[in-house]
Structures are given as structure tokens and as C-alpha cells.
Copies of this chain bind each other. A is one copy, B any other.
Amino acid sequence: MDPRIREHADIIVEHSTDLQAGENVVIDAHPVAEDLVVALHERIADVGANPLVVSERTGTRFRRAYLRNHEGDFDFPDHQMALYEAMDVYIAIRASDNVSQTSDIDPETTREYDQVTQPILEERLGKTWCLTQFPAAANAQLAEMSTEEYESFVWDATIRDWDEQREFQSHMVDILDPASEVRIVSGEETDVTMSVEGMTTLNDYGEANLPGGEVFTAPVPDSVEGTVYFDKPVYQQGREITDVRVTFEGGRVVEHSAAKNEDVLTNILDTDEGARRLGELGIGMNRGIDRFTYNMLFDEKMGDTVHMAVGRAYDDCVGEGREKNESAVHVDMIVDMSEDSFIEVDGEVVQRDGTFRFEDGFSQ
């Protein structure tokens, strides 16, 4: 086994989830991630926790078979809920044998299934969880890299000094957490403002997301105004949505378009009322991730980007007594901030062309 797989498992168990003896762990993984599942079991045994392996990630052939053959009107799976209620820690491993495995499922079916099973998602998100990536061949292919190069990309981004990264990102938390208004401007098209007043800005340094490397908060749902051009593609339901443009009025997406797979985007926005509002604003700060790989777990952490997600907000970002955006979906979309761009917080520029105010080379 590649020794980096055991280092990866060490970080998941010791840093990301801080696993303790007697805790009940669910590992949710596609079969191609077997090596990491093995390494995790070694460490879980060391700690004295209790593992269970499930395979409920969306990109499996059997999930596809189930959704394609189902006539709709999904039943709620009580046994899954019972499992996740009794679970303490959830480790989800992204990996695929074919990233287009879900591409011939009717988006309407996926939407219905997501709606019915939303309480399960909520239950899992209420526990200690870690979402990470195993560098399977199909994921390398999506990133347009050889498997070996992709392995290095994933493990270089993952096996890091997370204390150092936390320290770097804390400067941005200190700016955003007490702020009221945020404005994001990029290129000719993107100019959007939103309130984050009363919301909590979190520092992601490789806990729930591994790799980590972002600072994120929840916009006040009704406050978002303006237009955004997401210049990086979005991969959803096995399909690539490109050149997404959305316009917000009163927090709601009132216009949207995409060059490719616009219908998939429309379906996402039509999932429920919350799917037309922003649930997250994130600032990518992981300079170890230096290329776009069609994988949101990495892409949203790239230095010199921001991302916004339509759909569900994270509980921990929503201040007490504040309205939380609820939805069955959470879809991140990315804006490149490396050129001709700035982030303004309460009227002050805090990042210009990818350089933060607290870094060398920043110019007001």
C-alpha cells in the first residue's frame, strides 16, 4: 500500500474527526477506495472505535440502478435513519469508477429522492463528519491528469500542516466574522453584494472537509443583490454545467443561464424555495491547490477564488436568532478572483487580484 494512504488515514482519525474509543463510526465509500478503508480500519482499531462500512455515495452503479428503476414516490428509509442516529462519526470518501455514472438518471428523480432523504443528510451533518477524496483513476481522468500525478495532487493537498493553515486563514476570519456587507467584483460581469451581519465565519482547516482551506459564512438569505458569472464549471449529477450566470434580487435567483446543461441547473434551482437562495459564501485559501480539477472538494479551496452555494446553509454559520436558508440541495459554484477582481468588506478592499490585505504585495 502507498504509505501516503496510511498518512491520509492518520489525519482523518487524529485531526479531522479526533476519533475516541467507543465511538460508532460509519465509513461511506465507493469500493474503489478500498485501500483507504483498510488503512482507516487499522487506525480505528488502534483507537478502539467501532467501524461500519456502507456504500451510499451517489456515484455507484447500484444507486443508479435504483433511481432509474424506481417509479417515484420514494419511501423514507427508516433503517438508514436509525443507523445515522446511533452513529457518532461519519467518514465519507469520494471516489468513483466513472464520474458520469449518474449521467442518465432523470434529474427529477434525483430531486425527489434528495427531498425524501433530506432528514438523513441533516442527521449526518449533525454529527462529527469528514468528507475526503481517494484518488481513483476515474477522478484523475476528470481532472485530466494521470492517476499517479493525481495521487500526488490529492495527497499533497491533504497531508499538510493543518495548524499552520489554520493560522493563515484566521486573518480572514477576523475580517469577515464581525462584518456587515460583503461585495465581490470580478471581471466585467460579477458584481454582487450581500449581508453577513450576525452570521458566524468558520475556519476550515481540514476537519469536515479534507483537504480544508477555506473561510466561509452564510449570507443573510434576503440580502443578496447583483449578478455573478461563475467562470469555473460545475459538476452535478454526472454532468458539467458551464458558464453559469445568475442574477439575485432580494436574495432570490430571478434569472439564470448556462452554456451547457442549463436544464440540470434549472432542476437544482427548482428543488425547493431555498435552492434559489445562497446558503454559503466561501473564500478559497489553500495555495497548495493550484489547479482546477472539476472537484468541488478541492476547487472551492483553491487560493484566489471565492465560491457561493445555492441551497442549504450550515447551522454553525447561522447566528442565533437568524434565519437559516433551508434546502434539500447545496451546490457550490466558483468565481476566479486572481485577476481584475476584488473583495470588499464594509467598504474596504480586503483582497485584490488574489492577494489578501494581510499578505505581502497587497495594494489597496
Which A residues form the contact surface with B (CB < 8 A)? Answer: 21-22, 24, 26, 31, 34, 37-46, 48-56, 60-63, 65-71, 73, 75-83, 85-88
A-side interface mostly: helix
Output the nearest chain B residue to A69 by Cβ-Cβ distance.
B45
Q: Taking A38-B61, A63-B41 as contacts, is the C-beta distance between A78 and B86 under 8 angstroms?
A: yes
A54 neighbours in B (Cβ, 8 Å): 52-55
Complexed CA–CA distance, A37 and B64 (Å): 11
The smallest C-beta distance from A173 to any residue of chain B, in angstroms, reads 34
Q: Of B40, B42, B65, which is within 8 A of A38 by CB?
A: B65
Q: Taking A75-B50, A79-B26 as contacts, is the C-beta distance between A41 and B62 under 8 angstroms?
A: yes
Complexed CA–CA distance, A44 and B62 (Å): 11
Question: Do the beta carbons of B65 and A41 come within 8 Å of each other?
Answer: yes
Q: Of B42, B52, B69, B81, which is within 8 A of A46 by CB?
A: B69
Number of copies: 2
Q: Taking A79-B24, A79-B26, A83-B82 as contacts, is the C-beta distance between A51 and B66 under 8 angstroms?
A: yes
Select the residue from A41, A51, A88 with max chain B CB neighbours within 10 A: A41
The smallest C-beta distance from A123 to any residue of chain B, in angstroms, reads 12
Complexed CA–CA distance, A76 and B40 (Å): 19
The smallest C-beta distance from A263 to any residue of chain B, in angstroms, reads 23
Q: Of B45, B61, B68, which is within 8 A of A34 by CB?
A: B61
A24 neighbours in B (Cβ, 8 Å): 77-80
The smallest C-beta distance from A3 to any residue of chain B, in angstroms, reads 15
